[in-house]
Structure 1
Amino acid sequence: MGEVCKEKKPWLSVIWQVCNAFMSFFFALATYVQINDPDAGSWMVGYGVPAVLCAVIGWKPHVTETLPWRRVADLHVMISSAVVAMLAWRLYKERITEILQQEEGSLSPFREFSGLMLTAVWLLLCRHSGRAPVGLLRVSTAVAITVFPFVAWLYYYINKELRSGWPSHCKTAL
């Protein structure tokens, strides 16, 4: 009687939305730190698109079933996969050994490879997540992937020795 019926969300759906909110924040942060990079524009788009796509999922999880969301996500995964393949080939061909310190010109093959892999894997994980309630396997994977970049960023932030060989534009954003 005049009472608004509130739909209870299963706990897995809530965790899924929280993971997307955190990944949106992470991708937005990754977008921001590209500002000092010589080729900032392309990398800002590379991280900014997933930031927006994840933010929308955090707000409205069923958006993954809409054609515009799927097309943008698929295009981003396709382009990211092509760039990842080129970077992987470069890592292999040049037999780069100090992969965490390498920075040739404006291209850091391993870090850029890892960042693009993260965006592609996350968007693939999100694909069709709005069809049915998210399951334990997807949510567990999401939690593990969500924790990883924050722990890695914290590790680099604490361990100044790892950053000592980086060019100045990589050291000044955050």
Structure 2
Amino acid sequence: MEYYILDEVAGNQDIPYIGELPEELDMINVIMGKPLSLNLPIRLPVKIDDESVVVYPDMMTADIPLFSKKLKNLLDGLGINNINYFPVELFDEASGKVVAHYYLGIINGLIKCLKSGVETSPAGRRIIKNPIIDPTLTDGQMLFRLYERPLLIIIDSYVKEGIERAGLQWVSVIKTEDYISL
């Protein structure tokens, strides 16, 4: 089984910048997959300089994982059932106008499943380099967060193929073996 990292495409300057997160939306709890109690919909401010060039990708992960309706529906259709979704309204900081709708995707738990690829730097910092996932340790999950690097969302080849067929915008899928943490 091959595994991949699911992420947004980095470096797109036309994606709106998400402002300050609400207090009750703790980034660490989101990444760790802990249950949250939130007022819905979650309203997140975005800074928009020029509306004519703004791109709303199918996935944004700069602060918290936001999924478009198209991506959410795709993952639901593929049988991914370990994500809790919360509706999100992105609103323009300047005008207060809602400019896009997304879903915050909280992936339940972390899976410790690396066969190899964890190193320690001379300074004692853990580095993930060309990780290899042991499929016998994934509990059959097709999408999960990696215990050894919780910011990473891992998908299997079945989910990757579904994403490629769907023609999603600004979504990145790279082999786990090609990943090196900084």
**TM-score (normalizing by structure 2):** 0.28
Higher percent of residues as strand: 2
User: Of Structure 1 and Structure 2, which has the larger fraction of its residues in helix?
Assistant: 1
- Give the number of the structure whose alpha-carbon radius of gyration is greater: 1
